Amino acid sequence: MPDSQRFFEVPSSQWCRCLDTASALALGPVLPQPALNSFFDESARGREQTESLRRLIRERPAGKPLVMVSHQVNITALSGVYPQSGEIVVLKVDGAQLTVAGRISTSK
Protein backbone atom coordinates (compact mmCIF):
# COMPACT_ATOMS: atom_id res chain seq x y z
CA MET A 1 0.00 0.00 0.00
CA PRO A 2 1.47 3.42 -0.93
CA ASP A 3 2.35 5.70 1.98
CA SER A 4 -0.28 8.20 0.82
CA GLN A 5 -2.97 5.60 1.64
CA ARG A 6 -1.75 4.80 5.16
CA PHE A 7 -4.03 6.72 7.46
CA PHE A 8 -3.72 4.78 10.71
CA GLU A 9 -3.23 1.31 12.12
CA VAL A 10 -6.21 -1.07 12.24
CA PRO A 11 -6.27 -3.51 15.18
CA SER A 12 -8.03 -6.72 14.19
CA SER A 13 -8.99 -10.10 15.54
CA GLN A 14 -6.42 -12.70 14.54
CA TRP A 15 -9.13 -14.72 12.78
CA CYS A 16 -8.64 -14.88 8.99
CA ARG A 17 -12.01 -13.32 8.07
CA CYS A 18 -11.36 -10.32 10.32
CA LEU A 19 -7.80 -9.90 9.03
CA ASP A 20 -9.13 -10.01 5.46
CA THR A 21 -11.79 -7.40 6.29
CA ALA A 22 -9.26 -5.14 8.01
CA SER A 23 -6.92 -5.39 5.01
CA ALA A 24 -9.74 -4.71 2.55
CA LEU A 25 -10.52 -1.44 4.35
CA ALA A 26 -7.13 -0.19 3.11
CA LEU A 27 -6.86 2.32 5.94
CA GLY A 28 -3.36 1.34 6.97
CA PRO A 29 -1.39 -1.54 8.42
CA VAL A 30 -3.42 -4.26 10.13
CA LEU A 31 -2.33 -5.13 13.67
CA PRO A 32 -3.45 -8.59 14.84
CA GLN A 33 -4.80 -8.07 18.37
CA PRO A 34 -5.65 -11.10 20.56
CA ALA A 35 -8.07 -9.02 22.66
CA LEU A 36 -10.29 -8.75 19.55
CA ASN A 37 -10.50 -12.53 19.04
CA SER A 38 -13.92 -14.07 19.59
CA PHE A 39 -14.53 -15.49 23.05
CA PHE A 40 -17.87 -17.05 22.03
CA ASP A 41 -16.69 -20.58 22.87
CA GLU A 42 -14.78 -19.42 25.96
CA SER A 43 -17.10 -16.95 27.67
CA ALA A 44 -14.98 -17.03 30.84
CA ARG A 45 -12.40 -14.94 28.92
CA GLY A 46 -14.95 -12.27 28.02
CA ARG A 47 -14.48 -9.94 30.97
CA GLU A 48 -10.67 -9.95 30.71
CA GLN A 49 -10.69 -9.42 26.93
CA THR A 50 -13.24 -6.63 27.16
CA GLU A 51 -11.12 -4.84 29.76
CA SER A 52 -8.08 -5.26 27.49
CA LEU A 53 -10.06 -3.60 24.68
CA ARG A 54 -11.07 -0.75 26.97
CA ARG A 55 -7.38 -0.20 27.83
CA LEU A 56 -6.45 -0.27 24.13
CA ILE A 57 -9.09 2.36 23.42
CA ARG A 58 -8.10 4.57 26.37
CA GLU A 59 -4.40 4.45 25.42
CA ARG A 60 -4.84 5.60 21.83
CA PRO A 61 -3.60 9.12 21.07
CA ALA A 62 -6.25 11.79 21.69
CA GLY A 63 -8.15 12.79 18.57
CA LYS A 64 -6.87 9.84 16.55
CA PRO A 65 -9.62 7.67 15.04
CA LEU A 66 -9.55 3.99 15.91
CA VAL A 67 -11.02 1.38 13.58
CA MET A 68 -11.12 -2.16 14.98
CA VAL A 69 -12.34 -5.36 13.34
CA SER A 70 -13.81 -7.96 15.66
CA HIS A 71 -16.75 -10.29 16.36
CA GLN A 72 -20.33 -9.88 17.54
CA VAL A 73 -19.65 -11.21 21.04
CA ASN A 74 -16.79 -8.73 21.55
CA ILE A 75 -18.76 -5.79 20.18
CA THR A 76 -21.76 -6.62 22.36
CA ALA A 77 -19.62 -6.94 25.50
CA LEU A 78 -17.92 -3.61 24.78
CA SER A 79 -20.93 -1.58 23.63
CA GLY A 80 -24.14 -3.35 24.62
CA VAL A 81 -25.10 -3.45 20.91
CA TYR A 82 -25.92 -6.75 19.19
CA PRO A 83 -24.72 -5.91 15.65
CA GLN A 84 -25.93 -7.52 12.47
CA SER A 85 -23.35 -9.33 10.37
CA GLY A 86 -21.06 -6.72 8.81
CA GLU A 87 -22.62 -3.83 10.75
CA ILE A 88 -20.36 -1.01 11.89
CA VAL A 89 -20.82 0.24 15.45
CA VAL A 90 -19.43 3.72 16.09
CA LEU A 91 -18.43 4.53 19.65
CA LYS A 92 -17.66 7.89 21.17
CA VAL A 93 -14.86 7.87 23.70
CA ASP A 94 -14.87 10.33 26.60
CA GLY A 95 -12.13 9.31 29.00
CA ALA A 96 -13.11 5.85 30.24
CA GLN A 97 -16.73 6.28 29.07
CA LEU A 98 -17.85 4.65 25.81
CA THR A 99 -21.19 5.56 24.27
CA VAL A 100 -22.78 4.40 21.05
CA ALA A 101 -22.66 7.30 18.60
CA GLY A 102 -24.20 5.41 15.70
CA ARG A 103 -24.63 2.25 13.70
CA ILE A 104 -23.97 1.75 10.00
CA SER A 105 -25.53 -1.13 8.10
CA THR A 106 -23.42 -2.63 5.33
CA SER A 107 -26.18 -4.90 3.99
CA LYS A 108 -27.96 -3.98 0.81
pLDDT 10s digit of each residue in the chain, 108 long? 455 445 688 999 999 999 999 999 999 999 999 999 999 999 999 999 999 999 999 888 877 889 999 999 999 999 999 999 889 999 998 888 999 999 999 886
The amino acid occupying position 63 is G
Residue-level pLDDT at 50: 96
Residue 31 bridge partners (DSSP): 11
Distance set, CA 70 to CA 3, 4, 5, 22 (Å): 25, 26, 22, 9
* CA separation for the pair 25, 10 (Å, rounded): 9
Q: What is the pTM of this model?
A: 0.86
Residue-level pLDDT at 94: 86
